Chains A and B, each alone.
Chain A
Amino acid sequence: MFKRIAFSVNAKAFNFEVDIRESLLEMLRRLGYTGTKKGCGVGECGACSVLIDGMPFDSCLYLAVWADGKQITTIEGVAAKNGELSVVQKAFVDEGAVQCGFCTPGLVLTTTALVESGQDYTRDELKRELSGHLCRCTGYQSILKAAEISLQEHSCSCVDSPHHKQPAAKIEER
């Protein structure tokens, strides 16, 4: 069975029919967004995380049909259009938080969501927020450090926050 859905990926609009059994992960990879990685397929490892309306989700557990009307951000949409790395990406590169790179896209996206939430996190809170992402290469040390550095410079939509910065204008849907 197929169902027509309309959604955007990294601000590019799509409108087509999908197999109702397909996961968002499978659909994104089929569309060529292969930066979204499959590590387990059942929501255990976090490698396939994408942002759906700004919130991190395991795309393997999220049906493609649910993406109807949603704005999806994948790792391909994190850097600026001119190729400049985001604060989070830069911190991951600088802190040596990247080894094999398979968990990296998910972690960059979740960290991006934390930065964009405008909230402050203690170290323990940050560990908890990121603990849904498994990494076998780094022992998490450099990833945690990269996340902390990302958050030091985060922008925030709350006008009374010390990190307040005007959010980028939302891209019009479809």
Chain B
Amino acid sequence: MTNFMGNNSSLRDRFMNKSGDGGKEMAYTVVGKSVRKVDAVAKVTGKAMYTDDFFERDMLVGKILHSPYAHALITTIDVSRAKALPGVEAVLTYKDLPRISYATSLPGMIGADLDDNEDLERIKIGTAGHPYSLDPAHRDVEDRHILTKKARFVGDAIAAVVATDDLIAEKALKLIDVKYEVLEALTSTKAALREGAPLIHEGCEGNILASGGFTIGDVEEAFKESDHIFEGEYETSIVQHCHLENQTSYAYQDPDGRIVIVTSTQIPQIVRRIVAQALGIPWGRVRVIKPFVGGGFGNKQDVCIEPLNAAMTLAVGGRPVKIELAREECMIDTRTRHAFQFKIKTGINQDGKINGIHISAISNTGAYASHGHSIASSAGGKFRFLYPTKALKFDPITVYTNLPVAGAMRAYGCPQLFYAFESHLEDIAKRLDMDPIEIRSKNLVEVGYVDPISKTKVMSCGIRECIEKGKALIKWDKKKALYREQSGEKLRGLGMACFSYSSGTYPVALELAGARIVLNQDGSIQLQIGATDTGQGSDTALGQMVAEVLSLPMDMVHVLSTQDTDISPFDTGCYASRQTYVSGMAVEKAALEVKGKILSFAASMTDIPVDRLDLLEQKIVYKHSGESVLTLEQVAMQSYYDRVLAKPITSDVSNNARINAIPFGVTFAEVEVDIKTGKIKVLEIYNVHDSGTIVNPKMAEGQVQGGVSMGIGYALSEQLLFDEVTGKPLNNNLLDYKLPTMMDMPDIGVAFVETHESTGPFGVKSLGEPPTITPAPAIRNAVLDATGVAFNRLPMNPQRVFEGLKEAGLI
């Protein structure tokens, strides 16, 4: 079987190249290639199984009674008529939920104790998908019951029904008699912050969930040294993720009484922990399984329906119960993106160099904390890397209101903050009569910058090259000159905006990832990861990394797409744009361990010293020549069946990434504003990203296009609307919400500047979330360029633009 490869020049060249100089010039064979997405065929043939595609015999249906009032106390709740309806198996209210004093009991107490003693405190939970913290001060605010006695927004879960089918469950909901004492609905942060406003959560004075950011240097001193001081106010609206698959889950008890939950989530391990906490049971009593997920964008980085689903199955003796949210429910009773109001003050010199920035922000978290103040703080933390200044002060507050709960959404506070700052900087450039690119260039970060707070060092930075590339793509100089003299009813303009982000949450939170590899008899491998693919393609990217290390073709790498807390290695999940970077480290480590074991095993078979061997294209080869000594399959077979040496080759590793990497990028946009109608048309838009090495160009392009389209929706049309008095949602459906359709999308141009990030596996930095950050400010700045009117509030929908143009005297 031994095969000499001396004549195979292409293989040899590649081999020599790989082992040659190493380092930056290392050529990858699988990483960097647009290999086919590992689940694409399953998804185009309808074979991919999502949560709702699994059937359990006699599955019951769980439905939720939502509050019709934004702020109300339940005075009485009578479920007797609902319970009497044939086909109803259980009705749950706050009275049935576990109390802290029972927190160590085993499952089964749900529904068993109906004593309506309100003084006994019931368990409250925090729902955010953050890793647990051993430090109590660092944990999420626990302000929520599974079912509430006090409604805090229209849609709050008051009661729940388990029935034999949908129609009976719906009917039963109508038979629950609830009497409310209606309280004043605080539908804006202004109303919630008003002196004497009613408290949404007892003990939370002023309805302020949290406040505080950071200070670098002395901003007041920096302002004194500045030639100019500029101030601006900017505002964003509430938007929703609108993943195509609504939140859905089903739960049952296995024969040992453990609760099994199959759910559409980004964070199975965190779901398991929060369900256990909510029910006051040991964490090991809960098992969570994540099949294919139909998009999440952060909304599924939160625990919305699973604790209730677990309570439902316990209430019916462990029989399977399914909760499938309707779109209208999903749009108000899961999570939204925080609306922000910003006040920014900047001190700048005549030459465009910024001395100091002071950003104040009010973040609207809605009725419950969820991710709470983390959104504001995290955005501030990511902003610090773009324009380092002598002095920067960020002081956000996060406020409760009687609106749906805000949580994580793609880029976690950054679309808000960068919209505000990049708009502000554009306004400054205009006032100083500077080119927008020039003013940014004067202030951009350089490689080697160390953030004074996180101590994270910028190891790679391609932002300047990104700007150059974007500028050329959109033909900036040519069009700028062309549009200088314009008149008529349709005006064109150019705009741009930059961002910085991060790759994971370190040092704020734990960044643990796990990977497991098994070498099969035929030399193929299974890769198990705790990282969750929710459509973005992490399974493929991580599979490519293994293929790279082990020099395997992709069809020899089987990635297990399902995560199961009983089986999968521990990983905190899909959020913070962390998986390619952080989970990639674990995967690389696992693959290197397997490679080492393969070579050791081959050494034991051949008596060739292990350091003389390497793995190349499914063969064990001499390192110096590329000459083949064994096939990988021979080693694999021997590792399973050798009567003396057999020891199947596997690895099971965990990686605690105590490091971070900063990706950068820019959006360039060209718009045409129809003065008569206020309609903005995006003519051209380019996103150029420095995300380090691009693992899979085609998938990366897809991430950017999807993010840009979400950013265009954020800029131009999307907004959840509420009645100002009652807090009732007005457009919680896909028809009225104005999600962009194919007809609304311009061609989206994508380009990359590939730096090599030395801290990342294969030189990668994050890519999934960043594309959605800067389309809105770039479009806003282009509209300013076209019309001279600054739109400081999102979305810039035709009505708002029309009003703005009218105010400015253009109409």
Contacts and interface: CB of A to CB of B under 8 A. Distances in A.
B702 A76 contact: no
B361 to A, nearest CB: 27
21 contacts: A34-B49, A38-B52, A42-B735, A47-B244, A75-B45, A99-B702, A101-B40, A101-B44, A101-B294, A102-B243, A104-B43, A104-B44, A105-B46, A131-B743, A132-B741, A138-B705, A139-B707, A140-B705, A140-B742, A141-B702, A142-B702
Contact of B294 (A37, A133, A144): A37
Interface of A: 21, 29, 33-42, 44-45, 47, 74-76, 78-79, 85, 89, 92-96, 98-105, 108, 127-128, 130-144
A29 B707 CA distance: 31
Contacts of A75: 44-46
B698 interface: yes
B706 A139 contact: yes
B interface, by DSSP: helix, strand, loop or mixed? loop
Nearest to B744: A131
Interface stretch (B31-39, B197-205, B603-611): B31-39
A130 B742 contact: yes
B742 A127 contact: yes
A40 B327 CA distance: 5
Given A35-B46, A102-B295, 5 more contacts: A35-B47, A76-B47, A96-B34, A138-B709, A139-B705
Given A136-B244, A139-B706, A98 B43 contact: yes
Contacts of A136: 241-244, 295, 297, 706, 710, 739
B702 A138 contact: yes
Interface stretch (B378-386, B530-538, B671-679): B530-538
B577 to A, nearest CB: 15
Contacts of A130: 742
Please list the 9 inter-chain residue pairs (A to B) with the smallest Cβ-Cβ separation, ordered nearest first: A35-B46, A100-B535, A139-B709, A101-B43, A102-B294, A75-B46, A139-B705, A34-B53, A44-B734
B739 A137 contact: no
B748 A141 contact: yes
Interface in B43-65: 43-50, 52-53
A85 B45 contact: yes
Contacts of A138: 702, 705-706, 709
A117 B43 CA distance: 24
A106 to B, nearest CB: 10
A34 B43 CA distance: 11
A136 B43 CA distance: 16
Interface of B: 34, 36-37, 39-50, 52-53, 167, 241-246, 292-295, 297, 324, 326-327, 534-537, 698-699, 701-702, 705-710, 733-735, 739, 741-743, 745, 747-748
A96 B704 CA distance: 12
Nearest to A74: B46
Given A133-B742, A136-B243, A92 B747 contact: no
A153 B743 CA distance: 23
A127 B743 contact: yes
Give the most central of B34, B37, B167, B707: most A CB within 10 Å.
Answer: B37
Nearest to A90: B44
Contacts of A131: 741-743
Say whether chain A's binding surface is mostly helix, strand, loop, or mixed.
loop
A34 B246 CA distance: 15
A139 B46 contact: no
B55 to A, nearest CB: 8
Contacts of B698: 95-96
A40 B328 CA distance: 8
Contacts of A142: 701-702, 705
A41 B327 CA distance: 8
Contacts of B241: 136
A122 B37 CA distance: 29
Contacts of B702: 96, 99, 137-138, 141-142
A142 B742 CA distance: 11
A101 B535 contact: yes
A98 B44 contact: yes
B665 to A, nearest CB: 16
A79 to B, nearest CB: 5
Nearest to A40: B327
A36 to B, nearest CB: 8
A12 B40 CA distance: 26
Nearest to B709: A139
A96 B537 CA distance: 10
A103 B244 contact: yes
B706 A78 contact: no
- Chain B CB within 10 Å, residue with most, of A41, A78, A133, A138: A138
Nearest to A34: B53
Given A138-B706, A144-B742, A100 B534 contact: yes
Contacts of A99: 295, 535-537, 702, 706
